[in-house]
Amino acid sequence: VSYRELPNGNVFFPAIKRDVIGPMGLFYGSCDREILLKALGEIGFSKISGKADLVAKGWFAPRIPVIIQFWEGEEEIPSSFQMLFDRSLGEL
């Protein structure tokens, strides 16, 4: 689920969007994809299949599994990023 769908997620979502989702999307638009894949592997993420251009699964922090997704931009659409959490996070 997205952060916004977690209990009380709407409270902090504007800050998450401004400080994480937006900047990571911009970063993906100009980064070296091979270096990014290597860096993700070094911090414990593994590439998985998905509908985005790059999808990886790992741990945001101990006990918080996440899936991160990157989409390449097009002419009129900027690149974007999404971080999905396990629904059980709302139970912690």
pTM, rounded to two decimals:
0.84
Q: State yes or no: pLDDT of 37 exceeds 90.
A: yes
The phi, psi pair for 85, rounded to 5°, reads -110, 155
What's the whole-number average pLDDT of the chain?
89
pLDDT digits (tens, 9 = 90+) for 56-91: 999 988 888 999 999 999 989 999 999 998 776 655
**CA nearest neighbour of 72 among 91, 51, 45, 88:** 51
pLDDT given for residue 89 in this prediction: 65
The residues near 55 (Cβ < 8 Å, ≥ 6 apart) are: 47, 48, 49, 67, 68, 69, 70
